[in-house]
Amino acid sequence: MNMLEVKNITKSFGQQEVLKGVSFSLKQGEVLVIIGSSGSGKTTLLRCLNFLETPNGGSIYVNGEEVFSADSGKKLSDAQLRDRRLHFGLVFQSFNLFPQHDVLKNVTLAPTLYRTTELKKKKASKSEIKAAKAEIIEQGETLVDMVGLSEKLHEHPCRLSGGQQQRVAIARALALNPDILCFDEPTSALDPELTGEVLRVIRSLKDQGRTMVVVTHEMEFARGVADHVIYMADGIIEEEGTPEEVFGNPKSEKTKLFLAAGFNK
Amino acid sequence: MDFWGMIYDLCIGFGVTLKLFALTLVFSIPLGFILAFMSMSKIKPISLITKLFIWVIRGTPLLLQCLIVTFVPSMLFGIPNKDFKEFLGLETMADLQFMFVLFAFVVNYACYFSVIIEGGIKNISVGQHEAGKVLGMTKWQIFRHVVLMQVVRKITAPMSNEIITLVKDTALARALSVIEIIAVAFEKVNKYAVLSPLLYSCLFYLAFSGLLTLVFYYVEKKLSYYSV
Ligand SMILES: Nc1ncnc2c1ncn2[C@@H]1O[C@H](COP(=O)(O)OP(=O)(O)O)[C@@H](O)[C@H]1O
Ligand SMILES: [Mg+2]
């Protein structure tokens, strides 16, 4: 069964049709890389998956369960929306860490709030809540360690380099253990010498079997990490296939032009 | 004129000044947040009416607002102020006058604060809200744990300006015969035909606003443990 199934997603902003029917599917542990020139709708697609935008048409399934359908007609309640979006995680191009919290708190804040709300609903005792919090902190420390920042546990984001901030953002997204982790150009805001450390973390997540959707302009990296590649142009999938097919032997003229421009850079 | 006796009386008057100051702050800051949210409401009528209200309050003198408030119970609800006093369970008419002044101050300062707070909230990038959202946080959790402290930090400087202005605005309460420090001082001036009580009351204001300046300096320093 497919872990993620996206069917014919469309999205317009006013008169402008940004996504004109995008469909793809992803198996557990697979990495999908999306490439395409600026303005082709990549960010909008990821934002639709994470319920930051509501698609005008189409549907989304996770593990066979319908998490979104434009046809169902009924609007989701805030609580339903939250539960469904937790299937997905999103790492932003601009990190968006919480500046007033240290690294550990950035990672543990959301899971702590989520768990304590759940436990309070079940009328759990104070000690149960305390134990849950301790467990989340322990998991948080493990995640920060995994992205190689255990020495920065109690630093604030302003004291970290861009690459370190993005690694914290990855740990933060993992803390809620999403089924599918999305990356929107995770290295585009970084100095070239800092992209490597972030890409290595993403690579290691693939080795751990994470299911991921990665939008990137790093072609070498894309080629190495992808199980499946989509080239987007003007809101449609212009070409898709294995990395060998798309990078090695592109069929569409647009893809050829795009790749040529990319590699000359 | 007995010098220490005068200082003592000024202290009593300044006590009333401080009481008005502190109570105004305690009520107007939360009300300022509420007005800020109402003014940013997606429900257009709420937002429009709030903005109109804030415009009227900020566009008219506080002194007039204090005076108008005293007519509200009788003109609007037909309750004479004497009965209104009983209704509120107050002992004297002076207490009632103080309540009127406090009410006008709270509403007036809440409007000024709300504009600052709204600016602070709008200043937080959408990225912060979206980061909270994709992590499954509720709107309230995002406000409480992500936005609020960033807003507090952004608004401390402009808020401290307003708060220091408030210290001095309390002198307006005299118009509704609230016996705060300037009222006490004038009473002495008239009685003994000397100006010194007014000069001494200036020292009270100076000392207190100096203290506040120090407090705000300390708060700003405390809050600057991170940069955005
Ligand atoms: N919130 C929005 N309102 C209006 N237009 C938008 C909005 N978000 C994106 N767009 C437009 O949609 C198009 C695709 O944007 P985007 O998805 O960000 O592309 P990409 O990430 O591939 O560069 C662009 O033309 C952009 O201007
Ligand atoms: Mg983009």
Q: Is the CB of B136 less than 8 angstroms away from the CB of A94?
A: no
Q: Is the pLDDT of residue A112 over 60?
A: yes
Q: What percent of chain B has pLDDT over 90?
A: 88
Q: Which of A10, A11, A13 to mutate to test the pocket of ligand 1 (most atoms within 8 A of CB)?
A: A13
Residue A99 is nearest to which of B138, B139, B228, comparing CB atoms?
B228
**SS3 category, A203:** helix
Nearest-neighbour CA in chain B from A199: distance (Å): 21
Give pLDDT, residue B228. Answer: 73
Verify whether ligand 1 is closer than 6 Å to residue A235 (CB atom).
Answer: no
Average pLDDT in the B219-224 region?
A: 91
Residue B136 is nearest to which of A99, A114, A158, comparing CB atoms?
A114
Indicate the number of domains in chain B: 1
Band (A95; pLDDT cuts 50, 70, 90): very high
**Predicted confidence (pLDDT) per residue in B50-65, tens digit:** 999 999 999 999 999 9
Interfacial residues of B (vs A; Cβ cutoff 8 Å): 125, 127-128, 130-139, 141, 145-146, 149-150, 153, 225-228
Closest residue (by CA) to atom 12 of ligand 1? A18
Band (A263; pLDDT cuts 50, 70, 90): low
Distance CA B203, CA B188 (A): 16
How many CB pairs lie under 8 A apart between chains A and B? 63
Verify whether ligand 1 is closer than 6 Å to residue A52 (CB atom).
Answer: no
Q: What percent of chain A has pLDDT over 70?
A: 98
What rounded mean pLDDT belongs to chain A?
95
- For the beta sheet containing A211-215, the strands, ordered from the edge strand earlier in sequence to the opposite edge, are A88-91, A180-184, A211-215, A31-36, A228-233, A236-241
What ipTM did this prediction achieve?
0.93
Q: Is the pLDDT of residue B40 over 70?
A: yes
User: Which residues of chain B neighbour A173 with C-beta distances below 8 Å?
Assistant: 134-135
Establish how many alpha carbons lie within 13 A of residue A186's alpha carbon, considering only the half-sphere containing its beta carbon: 31
Q: Is the pLDDT of residue A257 over 90?
A: yes
Q: Is the CB of B138 less than 8 angstroms away from the CB of A78?
A: yes
What is the domain-level CATH number for residue B162? 1.10.3720.10
Report the separation in Å between the CA atom of A231 and the middle of ligand 2, taken as the mean of its atom positions: 14
Establish how many alpha carbons lie within 13 A of residue A61's alpha carbon, considering only the half-sphere containing its beta carbon: 15
Give pLDDT, residue A232. Answer: 96
Verify whether ligand 1 is closer than 6 Å to residue A42 (CB atom).
Answer: yes
Distance CA A3, CA B184 (A): 78
Give pLDDT, residue B205. Answer: 96
SS3 for chain B is CCHHHHHHHHHHHHHHHHHHHHHHHHHHHHHHHHHHHHHCCCCHHHHHHHHHHHHHHHHCCHHHHHHHHHHHHHHHHCCCHHHHHHHHCCCCHHHHHHHHHHHHHHHHHHHHHHHHHHHHHHCCCHHHHHHHHHCCCCHHHHHHHHHHHHHHHHHHHHHHHHHHHHHHHHHHHHHHCCCCHHHHHHHHHHHHCCCHHHHHHHHHHHHHHHHHHHHHHHHHHHHCCCCC
**Predicted confidence (pLDDT) per residue in A169-217, tens digit:** 999 999 999 999 999 999 999 999 999 999 999 999 999 999 999 999 9
Q: Is the pLDDT of residue A265 over 60?
A: no
What rounded mean pLDDT belongs to chain B?
95
**Predicted confidence (pLDDT) per residue in A22-58, tens digit:** 999 999 999 999 999 999 999 999 999 999 999 999 9
Average pLDDT in the A146-165 region?
A: 96
* Structural contact between residues B216 and B26, judged by C-beta atoms closer than 8 angstroms: no
Q: Which residue has the higher pLDDT, A72 or B208?
A: B208
Ligand 1 atom with the smallest distance to the CA of A215 is: 21
Distance CA B180, CA A260 (A): 79
Give pLDDT, residue B120. Answer: 96
Q: Is the CB of A172 less than 8 angstroms away from the CB of B146?
A: no
Interfacial residues of A (vs B; Cβ cutoff 8 Å): 50-52, 78, 82-83, 85-86, 88-90, 92, 94, 96-100, 109-110, 113-114, 156-158, 172-173, 176
Q: Is the pLDDT of residue B225 over 90?
A: no
| Domain coverage including residue B203 | 3-226
Band (A153; pLDDT cuts 50, 70, 90): very high
Average pLDDT in the A3-29 region?
A: 97
